[in-house]
Chains A and B, each alone.
Chain A
Amino acid sequence: MHELAVTQGILDIALGSLEEAGGHRVGRIDLAIGEMTGVVEECVRFYFGVISRGTPAEDAELSVRVVPTSARCQSCGETFLVRECGWVCPRCASACSDLTGGKELIVESIEVRDGSQGTQRHP
């Protein structure tokens, strides 16, 4: 249920960035969401449709990059994906690791449209 708060954060950042860029509409929002955050993509899409209505981000496409949970072994330094290996190092079998990825909740970029000339992209 924290998806509503997360989605509100996404919308606020997108609208703020749109204003800074001097655009009129948000065409797309690129998100990085860590696997471990438990944020359900479908819920975010649903909430976004509701709360973006009537804003310049209405109808914006949500592009989600899911970041897998990864860890670095404290013993041998091996970095591994928790989905594949559990929390045990696949190289030395040590069960002590530091999280290196999977907690991301980031708006990476937005596509800004000026409203009249359609979509433009920087190279």
Chain B
Amino acid sequence: MEVKVLKGILDANDRIAAENRRLLDASRTFSLNVMASPGAGKTSLILSTIERLRERLGVGVIEGDISSTVDADAVAAKGIPVVQINTGGSCHLDANMIATALSGLPLDDIRLLMVENVGNLVCPAEFGIGEDRKVLVSSVPEGDDKPYKYPLMFTEVDAVLINKIDLLPYVKFDMRAFTVAVRSMNARASIIPLSCTTGQGLEDWTGWVLQEMAGPRS
């Protein structure tokens, strides 16, 4: 006999993500899921954000990588609470990994939790982790055609950061074409050009974060 099921294949992940969210809400911790391809500047963005916001609020970080503690070491060197997740080959963080990581963080002292996902524009878009906002770091050398190539990622996020704009004079990247592409599939996302190297645009980024933290939870 045929049995109607109609269940989301990732429902189990989504249930754990909802539990993570309840835990974070209870400690008044606002969380960002930071996604990007490898080398786009996720860690640089997180380190720059720490520098600019640490005087104003408690910051914490979860680092996701296939292996190594390179990123967590860089965060820990700044005296910021951090947990490194090594996925051991898995190409994305899932809600269960985050649940384990959260138990190792002093959430009551953390108002802003930044989660650096595994460098990948495909799989991380699929798995919610209980975050308040999803953020994508795209970078100038990757090219302006990325929205068309990875549409799921670009439709999922609340903000698209265009990093490495200091390289615009040297790299073929049409800012207008990129913006049109993002807008065509995601009209609500904020688009923020910046450079973690020169600091240009970082005020806009931290302004966005503070504004989202003050606004209604999604």
Contacts and interface: CB of A to CB of B under 8 A. Distances in A.
A67 interface: no
B52 to A, nearest CB: 32
A110 B3 contact: yes
Interface size class of A (residues with CB under 8 A): 35 or more
Most chain B beta-carbon contacts within 10 A, residue among A2, A9, A112: A2
A110 B181 CA distance: 39
A86 B6 CA distance: 29
A121 B11 CA distance: 27
B132 interface: no
**SS class, residues of chain A in contact with chain B:** mixed
Nearest to B180: A95
B155 A17 contact: no
Interface string B1-39: 111111111111100000000000000000000000000
B9 to A, nearest CB: 4
B122 interface: yes
Interface stretch (B53-61, B87-95, B102-110, B194-202): B87-95
A74 B123 contact: no
Interface in B63-100: 90-92, 94
A96 B1 contact: no
Contact of B5 (A69, A88, A105, A110): A110
Interface in A45-70: 69
Interface string A90-102: 0000011111000
Contacts of A36: 151-152, 155
B3 A99 contact: no
Contacts of A20: 3
A107 B151 contact: no
B203 interface: no
B6 A105 contact: no
Contacts of A109: 2-6
A41 interface: no
A108 interface: yes
Contact of A10 (B6, B9, B122, B127): B9
B90 A1 contact: yes
B185 A99 contact: yes
B126 interface: yes
Given A2-B92, A2-B127, A107-B6, A37 B187 contact: no
B122 to A, nearest CB: 5
Contacts of A76: none
Nearest to A3: B123
Residue in A1, A74, A86, A122 with the greatest tally of chain B CB atoms within 10 Å: A1
Interface of B: 1-13, 90-92, 94, 122-123, 126-127, 148, 151-152, 155, 180-181, 183-185, 187
9 contacts: A1-B123, A2-B123, A5-B10, A13-B11, A31-B9, A71-B185, A105-B9, A107-B9, A112-B2
